[in-house]
Structure 1
Amino acid sequence: MKKKHFILLTLLAIGIIWCLSWLFISPPALKDYADFEAIKVDTVTENHFTLGKNFLKKKNKNLWEMYSEGEPYEIGYSTGILAQGLLYRQEKAFVSQINELIPSKNYLSFLRVLIAFFNRNLDASISEEYCQEIYGMSQGSNEEFNYIGPAYQRLLNYHGAHDIGHALQELALVGCTSFAVKDDKTDDGKLLVGRNFDFYVGDEFAKEKMIHFVNPKEGYKFASVTWGGFVGVVSGMNETGLTVTINAAESELPTSAATPISLIAREILQYAKTTEEAYQIALRRQGFVSEAILVTSAADRKALSIEKSPSAVDSLYDQNNQLLTTNHYKTASMKSATAYDNAYASYYRMERLKEMINDTTVLGVEEAAFILRDKRGLKNTDIGLGNEKAINQLIAHHSIIFKPETKEMWLSTSHFQLGEYIHYNLDSVFKNAPISSTKSLAIDSLNIAEDPFVQTAQFKGYLTFKKLVKKYINLAEEERLTQAEIDDFIALNPSSYYSHEIIGDYYAKRNQTQQAINYYQNALTKEVASHHEKVNIEKKLSELQGQTK
């Protein structure tokens, strides 16, 4: 018996060691950076830090400006060390949101092992250059989250998590909108690009964003809108006037590790000048999930949508001086017939985008901001605030406008894309940085003003609505709402199907069948955000109606 136990324990130990070695990702090979790591951070003010020629400073309450230069590890290391506080707050917000979405600790533990196994070869799908940068950045990570995994491994996995979030469309993590127009569509004939990045991982995650200006040893200088712990690109422009933005497309859950789409976008931004060069980079990289990469180039004055899945790639150039992208494919080889139905948020949003651009004689940056801030539905109907079918879903991590030929960009500040858009000119930025890190790199005289909607009672009511949504969803079964509380809640967002669905759920949970039926029926008279959600409400309604027969 003892011998049997010993054999079982030995096999178990071997299995654990084998499993850990399987899941562990080794750091990349590096040369000696002892001299660079010996440079100390200089704290200029509580919101301004320098490390050699690299610096981080706060522009306003939620926007940070960072400048980095050098080799990949140096860029990553200086970013991680200078932005330690940002890295910590972003990781904390990310982990908190995951815990909220998946409250079961046992299931979370299982998912951690599953994702670690799934991504065990992730580093092999990422270029050595970006592995070194991520490893450098990991030196600024907080040990509080080591229970999830080693810092380097965590940051690698977070880049994959962005792609997995795109695949999990039913969680409503994504719903981006972008467009490019030129010639007779713009007020000066030049290329103009607008983009909403609706990647939602909670309000805390979107609270602080960073505009990162990077001067790499190899490739083009570029600017990228990002957050602490992330080296990929979701929205950016390089010194040649090439822009890159990414939009999720309908996708299956990935079955094996590949290059995260944000790192493909990063490679394009760093190494491409023309749309053809961008396409060739996308062609030779295998991606995690399905994505549309919108590329515009000042060099060839073109806009190109690269539609990429794990198994195929196709592309579409601008037609009639415009190219519009939401969350479905449009090329003949890639498009899905089901996407072309108004019940689907992506198609509905595309139609609204076409409607707004066609209704505008010519577009300048002010008109682009007006479109990106639009909260209404087709034919200007009220579809409720926060609807996925709206161009502005009031969840954006950021919104940005580019003029590639003049290398100008306007970046939104909170709330969402309603706040002031801050103006940057890349020629000016890279001329002045790192010579002077004491003043903002922005040109504030060219900013786009805050949307007046921010100061309205309707917007303040919507913020209250969001807080009450969380509270009412999590009410204990014995807790009760008064009719006045219910009426006040509906009044905060009366045209939203979601207001009525939540109250329907409240009554269904308490076996008040007829009241639940009434509110579900009311919800279905509104513009429901997605086909998936409409089917879900119809299913709940049908089940309750079956109980009353």
Structure 2
Amino acid sequence: MKNILFSLLLIVCSLGIFANYLGTAIPLDIKDGSGPPAIFIERTANSHRHIILQGASYHRGLEFGKYTSDVLRMQETLMVSKLDQFIGNSFVQKIFFSTLMLWFHDVDKHIDRDSLEEMQGISKYAPDEFQRLTTNYTRQIAYHGLHEVGQMFVDEDRVDMGCFVSAIQSEQNKWVIGRNFDFDIDGIFDREKVMKWVYPQEGYAYLSVVWPGMVGVVSGINDQGIYASINAAGSDDFSRVGTPTTIVVKNVLLKARTLEEAILIFQNAKTFIAEIFVIGDRKTNRVAIIEKSPARMNVKILTKSEVTANHLESEIWAKDTINAKRKTELTSDLRKKRGLELITENTYKDPISKTVQILRDRSLFDGRQTHLGNRGAIDSMIASQSLIYDMEKNILFVNLGPGTIGKYLGYDLTASFEKKYPVVVKELSADSMTTAEYISWQDSMMKVIEGKRHLAKNECRQTGEILNLLTKKSFVHYDKSRLAGDYSMKCLDNSAQAKIYWKEALAFYPPYEKQRRYLEEKLK
């Protein structure tokens, strides 16, 4: 028996070494690292953080890493702490990472050299303390697959991720695109976002609203008037590896001058997740929704106002089981339905104000009873980016935060690209909710999550203390009501009181089908 166990241990160790050998990215031999120093503009109470990058790709990466190294450390520390919560054992963590490295060992072969060089530059300023996981350069590549891995959990009740886009027209039939990018880990990606202005040696200049360390793009516009953003989706189609979709979008901004050129780049890209891309072409006043999986792609040129969330809608996905689950069991269709309710006219006299109204909408469709933070709402209080693009005037409005409640600053992109410096020309006013109220709501929501963890460990005293605190604050949320019901049953053995809370939770229309099923079973 000992010999068998020893043999198994040798096999596991050998696989780990093999995985690390295959999965560790080999640094590039870089010939050109030239370029002018970056211009870095720090964030203030009434401005965004900006970085203006020029020159060779490796040089741009070095400058990006140098000016944002403190935030790189914060972000990675937070992400690793989340991993520690998910997998507490360091040995199991190593097996997990080795498995991922073996699975995705050749992902760098699907990433263009320009992007890899920039990642290698950034990696010089990545925190060395996490080399216990793998090298700084390998981690930079891996984090660009975070969107692909996270996509599997988008619109699930375990994590706060999701996206929404609206496209409406003015009375002159000019398009205005609005977008909420919902990705919240303790609010860090909202607070620390950066306006990244890139002036490459080859290709078109572009603006990416992104985070320190990120080469890929989730929302951006180039100096040719091509807008591009991504919404995660899901499909039965499978590919082990491919180009991260954020890198595909980056290459669209770098290389596309027209909508047709952008579509061709998407067609030729080998991706390994399903995604929804919204593309705008300012010169021809056209907007397209591209639905793409590893095996299929559909392009829809918009002829009227439209909204999209996190499920695929073309007929080619009619029999796709994962997409059907996204639509019927999760929140994407709820947000889509609410968006369509808000688009009551073909054109709008003030499409900017209408788009703000849509992006800040916190109600459920069909007049269902709700409260702040329902994931079935368009604005579920987790937006790390909220953007509005006025295609006619070439102005991009970006939220100051927190979430959608603060002001939006409008940048004249024509003037900004010409001057190689951000030019603010407009502001959109803040929401009626104050920053203090928003932060108080977020703190209460974190208390609910903490209470759920305590109850899972049968820590009744701590759970009760949290519920008492939330009651004093008059905090309302379906998860809080469900927690109170579960606590009443598990800790107080009071089924009558538990059912009152469960009924209250169900009345708030929890957005996930499994949540509603759970409560319905409890109330039988």
TM-score for the superposition, normalised by structure 1: 0.85
Counterparts of 1:127 and 1:455 in 2: how far apart (Å)? 41
Q: 1:157 aligns with which of 142, 146, 150?
A: 142
2:505 counterpart residue number: 523
Question: Could you give the per-residue CA deviations for residues 306-349 of structure 1, whole angstroms, max 9, x where no partner exists?
Answer: 101122111111032x2321111111112458469676411111
Contact between 2:165 and 2:309, CA under 8 Å: does it hold in 1? Answer: yes
**Residues 413 and 134 from structure 1, CA distance in 2 versus in 1: closer, same or farther, beyond 3 angstroms?**
same
Q: Which moved more, 1:484-493 or 1:358-367?
A: 484-493
Indicate how the Cα distance of structure 1 residues 532 and 290 shifts in structure 2: closer, same or farther if over 3 A, else same. farther
Does 2:402 match 1:419? Answer: no
Report if the CA contact (8 A) 1:500-1:523 is conserved: yes
Q: Which residue of 1 aligns with 2:175?
A: 191
TM-align CA RMSD: 3.1
Residue of structure 2 in register with 1:48 after alignment: none
Cα distance in 2 for partners of 1:15, 1:108 equals: 14
Measured after TM superposition, the shift of residue 212 of structure 1 is 0.4
Change (3 A) 1:24 1:501: same
Q: Is the 8 A contact 2:51 2:194 kept in 1?
A: yes
2:378 corresponding residue in structure 1: 391
Query: Contact between 1:384 and 1:493, CA under 8 Å: does it hold in 2?
Result: no
Question: Which of 185, 210, 216 is 2:200 aligned to?
Answer: 216
**Residues 193 and 24 from structure 1, CA distance in 2 versus in 1: closer, same or farther, beyond 3 angstroms?**
same
Alignment: residue pair count: 511
Query: Alpha-carbon deviations, 1:334-389, whole Å to 9, x = none?
Result: 24584696764111111111111216844422221121011111245542211111
Q: Deviation at 1:20? A: 2.9
Distance, in Å, in 2 between the alignment partners of 1:365 and 1:74 is: 38
**C-alpha distance in 2, partners of 1:414/1:85?**
20
Match of 2:188 among 193, 204, 218: 204
Instruction: Give the conservation status (yes or no) of the 8 Å contact 1:490–1:500.
Output: no
Q: 1:66 aligns with which of 45, 51, 56?
A: 51
Distance 1:5 1:497 in 2: 49
2:299, 2:461 → 1: CA distance?
Answer: 54
* Equivalent pair of 2:20/2:101 in contact (CA under 8 Å): no
Give the match for residue 429 of structure 2: 449
TM-aligned CA distance change 1:16 to 1:346, over 3 Å = closer
The whole-number CA distance in structure 1 between the counterparts of 2:270 and 2:166 is: 25
Which residue of 446, 450, 469 maps to 1:471?
A: 450
Note closer, same or farther for the CA distance 1:267–1:341 as it changes in structure 2 (3 Å cut). closer
Aligned partner of residue 236 in structure 1, secondary structure:
strand
Note if contact 1:88-1:142 (Cα within 8 Å) is conserved in structure 2: yes
- Matched with 1:331 is 314
**Deviation, structure 1 residue 517:** 3.9
Partner deviation per Cα, 1:162-201 (whole Å, 9 max, x = no partner): 111111232334221002223xxx1553221100001223
Partner SS, residue 391 of structure 1: coil
Which structure 2 segments of 5+ residues have no match? Answer: none
Q: Report if aligned partners of 1:353, 1:391 keep a CA contact under 8 Å in 2.
A: yes
Deviates more, 1:301-310 or 1:361-370: 361-370
Residues 318 and 20 of structure 1: CA distance in aligned 2, closer, same or farther (over 3 Å): same
**What are the residue-to-residue correspondences of 1:69-218 with 2, within 5 Å?**
69-169=54-154, 170=156, 171-182=158-169, 186-218=170-202
| One-letter code aligned to 2:18 | W
Q: CA deviation at 1:207?
A: 2.1
Give the distance between the partners of 1:373 and 1:332, measured in 2 at CA: 30
Q: How far did 1:242 drift?
A: 0.9
Distance in 1, Cα, partners of 2:122 & 2:201: 17
Cα-to-partner distance string for 1:379-405 (whole Å, 9 max, x where unaligned): 455422111111101001110001233
Deviations 1:131-185 (A, max 9, x none): 1111111111111211121111101111111111111232334221002223xxx
Residue 501 of structure 1 corresponds to 482
Partner Cα separation in structure 2 for residue 373 and residue 147 of structure 1: 42
SS of the aligned residue for 2:39 comes to strand
- 1:83, distance to aligned residue in structure 2 (A): 1.7
Q: Aligned with 1:474: secondary structure?
A: helix
Alpha-carbon distance, 1:95 to partner: 2.2
Change in CA separation of 1:477 and 1:488 when aligned onto 2, cut-off 3 Å: closer
**Alpha-carbon distance in 1 for matches of 2:440, 2:172:** 39
Cα distance in 1 for partners of 2:32, 2:420 equals: 27
Letter in 2 for 1:352: R
Contact in 2 for aligned 1:273/1:299 (Cα 8 Å): no
User: Whole-Å Cα distance in 2 between the matches of residues 105 and 536 of structure 1?
Assistant: 34
| AA of the residue aligned to 2:27 | P
Pairwise mapping of residues 15-94 of structure 1 onto structure 2 (< 5 A)? 17-31=17-31, 33=33, 36=34, 52-61=36-45, 63-94=48-79
Q: Which amino acid aligns with 1:210?
A: V
Q: Which residue of structure 2 aligns with residue 39 of structure 1?
A: none
Q: 1:379 to 1:6 in 2, by over 3 A?
A: closer
Q: Partners of 2:92 and 2:517 in 1: how far apart?
A: 27
**AA at the equivalent of 1:500:** S
Q: Which moved more, 1:306-315 or 1:475-484?
A: 475-484
Q: Deviations over 1:499-525 (max 9, x none)?
A: 211223333543726144442333222
1:438 match = none
Provide the C-alpha distance between the structure 2 equivalents of 1:63 and 1:213, rounded to a whole number of angstroms: 12
Report the counterpart of residue 257 of structure 1 in structure 2.
Answer: 241
Instruction: Give unpaired runs (5+ residues) of structure 1.
Output: 37-50, 435-440
Q: Is the 8 A contact 2:239 2:273 kept in 1?
A: no
Deviation at 1:202, TM superposition (A): 2.8
Moved more, 161-170 or 220-229: 161-170
Residue 262 of structure 2 corresponds to residue 278 of structure 1: yes
The DSSP-based 3-state class of the residue aligned with 1:213 is strand
